């Protein structure tokens, strides 16, 4: 009799293929079988760590927009950052996604940043 956590395995003891012509021995083995873990039981601490890294990276990308008002910022970098900010694409690290991660509406945040850039004479 087997429990629900056991399986029956049968195998030929004559592994070399030279079984006798008379009945040969078959062995039955009971092996304990571990049940598959439920998804809720899986340790997802690594994915929590990765989620935190992605969250922090998105916030850092928004913070880097401050560099656009710095007079030492190159025109090329400023143009690239403004182009990124003006896009309405929804990608993992798009301006809209990063804004949502910070709890802000990307259109309102964009208008505020553009107002400040114009006020500082950066654009």
Domain count, the chain: 2
CA distance 115 to 87: 17
Residues 29 and 75 in one domain: no
Query: Contact 22/34 with Cβ under 8 angstroms?
Result: no
Residues 30 and 68 in one domain: no
What was the pLDDT predicted at 43? 52
Helix, strand and coil percent figures for the chain, each rounded to 5:
50, 10, 40
CA distance 36 to 28: 24
- Rounded to two decimals, the pTM is 0.59
Residue 7 backbone phi and psi in degrees, to 5: -125, 160
Instruction: List the domain range (segments joined by +) for residue 19.
Output: 6-34
Residues 68 and 30 in one domain: no
What was the pLDDT predicted at 71? 81
Rounded average pLDDT over 100-110: 93
pLDDT tens column, 48-91: 878 899 999 999 999 988 888 788 888 899 999 999 999 999 99
CA distance 118 to 123: 5
């Amino acid at each position: 009799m087997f429990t629900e956590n056991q399986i029956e395995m049968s195998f030929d003891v004559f592994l070399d293929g030279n079984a006798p012509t008379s009945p040969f021995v078959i062995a039955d083995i009971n092996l304990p079988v571990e049940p598959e873990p439920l998804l809720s039981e899986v340790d997802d601490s690594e994915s929590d760590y990765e989620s935190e890294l992605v969250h922090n990276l998105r916030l850092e990308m928004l913070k880097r927009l401050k560099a656009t008002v710095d007079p030492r910022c190159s025109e090329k970098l400023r143009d690239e950052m403004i182009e990124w900010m003006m896009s309405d694409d929804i990608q993992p690290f798009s301006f809209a996604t990063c804004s949502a991660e910070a709890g802000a509406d990307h259109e309102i945040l964009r208008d505020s940043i553009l107002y400040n850039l114009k006020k500082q004479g950066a654009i």
